[in-house]
């Protein structure tokens, strides 16, 4: 939801703020078109605020789609649904469950709007699964002049609109390919980081696999998911345990903020509490995790074959900043979406986090020196320092995307300062 305090909006981590002069809460497509047609200055749509850079920032026209949500149509036989763009992922998966359906894959945060998740290239993990935008079969877009543009797979501009950072227009509805509902068994266990890296191909045989390496230790917490017919539901005790873990992690990070040099000891204490765990439940309840402790994050996609070497090179960089937060490692299948960070190559996304009350800028810049050596591409919703000059050589269809953007929004209605720098406009 869009929260303004004394007229000021802040994103989830507090790294971006804006004081928009006009804020709109459309409830219908007609109202949304009217907002676009009458917009003054830059128009940006604010979702859940989970993007760390100023992708959504506007000091002029801010649009919240929190009242424009829900399923428009569900066809269980065709395994397709159409959903309003403001629908948060948790509400979408609940609605899908009512029809015996589910997303093929998703990440571990379900607070984002479906429009935001697609537009920034949000992803889960698994070698067979692409970014979430690959699940889109149709997009209904309101362009800068208020026109409606319906795009389907095969249309020339469809792939450009799948991941566009909201620069081609405002998404109104999204049609998604879905699958029959399914259940997952989640297993977590602590493993020596070098053992994990030495056996990546074995771990990658799981439906979903990821791990978190904790700086200043040799411990990685490995999570695997497999489909199962077993019964069981995540219980109230699971939620209580997750809440307690978040409270403890908040406390540890507050100590680490005041005593940075205590980071090695704090993380050794943290990893010393790890134990094997397992739970079973509907996929919609297993994918997401509770994230009460706020952070800032940079994440880059690198060629999958280079992932282990990238992580090894990152270790010294991350530890030199006394970081407590774990480094996350997830696989994503390649795709043909021009602005997807996984375009044209199977990728591994490696994410570096730090507590939101600590400086993050130098950590991001130093991490990028490693990612750059491997032609890393930044996640659009995570911190990075890249501009058009850096990016054009990393995306084979960069110029083609810029041409489509200029065609659909020649006056730059949907461009803020961050996006102008990003696209060289």
What is the mean predicted confidence (pLDDT) over 334-345? 99
Cβ atoms of residues 46 and 9 within 8 Å: yes
**Start-end ranges of CATH 3.30.465.10 in the chain?**
71-181
What is the band of 232 on the pLDDT scale with cuts at 50, 70, 90? confident
Contacts for 230-234: CB closer than 8 Å, 24+ residues apart: 230/183, 230/185, 230/280, 231/280, 232/279, 232/280, 232/281, 233/280, 233/281, 233/282, 233/285, 234/279, 234/281, 234/285, 234/286
| Residues of each domain in the chain carrying CATH 3.40.462.10 | 183-378
Percent of the chain residues past pLDDT 70, beyond the cut: 99
Query: 237 pLDDT band (50/70/90 cuts)?
Result: low
Mean pLDDT of 288-310: 97
In eight-state DSSP terms, residue 299 is: E
Task: State which fold the 71-181 domain adopts.
Answer: 3.30.465
pLDDT class for 124, splitting at 50, 70, 90?
very high
Phi-psi region of 154 (alpha: psi -120 to 50; beta: other; left: phi over 0): left
Q: Average the pLDDT over 211-234 and give the result.
A: 95
Taking CA atoms, 195 is separated from 127, 222, 305, 311, in Å, by 19, 11, 17, 13
Over range 1-23, report the average pLDDT.
90
Q: Please indicate, yes or no, whether the overall pTM of this predicted structure exceeds 0.85.
A: yes
The residues near 263 (Cβ < 8 Å, ≥ 6 apart) are 215, 216, 256, 322, 323, 324
Structure tokens at 65: 């789609």
Mean of the per-residue pLDDT values of the chain? 96
Would you state the pLDDT for residue 234? 74
Average pLDDT over residues 132-154: 98
Cα–Cα distance, 63 to 392 (Å, whole number): 30
For residues 210-223, give the mean pLDDT.
98
From CA 123, how far away is CA 117, in angstroms rounded?
8
| Superfamily of segment(s) 183-378 | FAD-linked oxidases, C-terminal domain (3.40.462.10)
Count of other CB atoms within 10 angstroms of residue 415: 22
Residue with tokens 């591409």: 377
The pLDDT value given to residue 235: 64
pLDDT digits (tens, 9 = 90+) for 68-94: 999 999 999 999 999 999 999 999 999
Rounded CA gap, 164 and 142, in Å?
13
What is the three-class DSSP state of 185?
Answer: strand
Q: Are 182 and 188 in contact (CB under 8 A)?
A: no
């Amino acid at each position: 939801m869009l929260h303004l305090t004394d007229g000021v909006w802040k994103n989830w981590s507090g790294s971006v703020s804006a004081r928009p002069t006009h804020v709109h809460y459309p409830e219908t497509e007609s109202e949304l078109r009217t907002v676009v047609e009458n917009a003054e200055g830059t128009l940006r749509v604010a979702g859940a605020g989970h993007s760390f850079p100023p992708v959504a920032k506007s000091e002029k026209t801010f649009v919240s789609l929190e009242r424009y949500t829900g399923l428009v149509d569900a066809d269980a036989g065709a395994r397709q649904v159409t959903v309003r763009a403001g629908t948060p992922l948790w509400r979408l998966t609940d609605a899908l469950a009512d029809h015996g359906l589910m997303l093929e894959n998703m990440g571990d945060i379900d607070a984002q709007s479906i429009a935001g998740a697609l537009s920034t290239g949000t992803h889960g993990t698994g070698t067979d699964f692409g970014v979430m935008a690959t699940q889109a079969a149709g997009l209904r877009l309101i362009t800068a002049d208020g026109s409606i543009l319906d795009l389907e797979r095969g249309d020339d501009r469809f792939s450009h609109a799948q991941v566009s950072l909201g620069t081609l227009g405002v998404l109104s509805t999204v049609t998604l390919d879905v699958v029959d509902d399914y259940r997952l068994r989640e297993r977590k266990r602590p493993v020596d980081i070098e053992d994990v890296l030495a056996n990546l191909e074995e771990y990658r045989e799981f439906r979903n696999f990821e791990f978190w390496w904790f700086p200043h230790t040799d411990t990685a917490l490995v999570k695997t998911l497999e489909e199962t017919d077993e019964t069981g539901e995540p219980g109230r005790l699971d939620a209580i345990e997750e809440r307690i873990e978040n409270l403890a992690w908040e406390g540890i990070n507050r100590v680490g903020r005041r005593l940075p040099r205590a980071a090695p000891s704090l993380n050794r204490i943290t990893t010393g509490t790890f134990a094997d765990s397992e739970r079973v439940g509907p996929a919609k309840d297993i994918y997401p995790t509770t994230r009460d402790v706020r952070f800032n994050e940079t994440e880059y996609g690198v060629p999958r074959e280079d992932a282990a070497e990238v992580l090894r090179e990152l270790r010294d960089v991350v530890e030199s900043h006394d970081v407590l937060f774990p480094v996350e490692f997830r696989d994503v299948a390649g795709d043909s979406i021009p602005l997807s960070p996984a375009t044209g190559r199977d990728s591994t996304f490696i994410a570096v986090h730090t507590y939101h009350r600590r400086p993050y800028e130098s950590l991001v810049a130093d991490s990028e020196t490693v990612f750059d050596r491997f032609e890393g591409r930044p996640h659009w919703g995570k911190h990075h320092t890249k501009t058009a000059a850096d990016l054009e050589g990393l995306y084979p269809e960069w110029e083609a995307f810029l041409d489509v953007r200029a065609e659909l929004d020649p006056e730059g209605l949907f461009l803020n300062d961050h996006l102008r720098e990003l696209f060289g406009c």
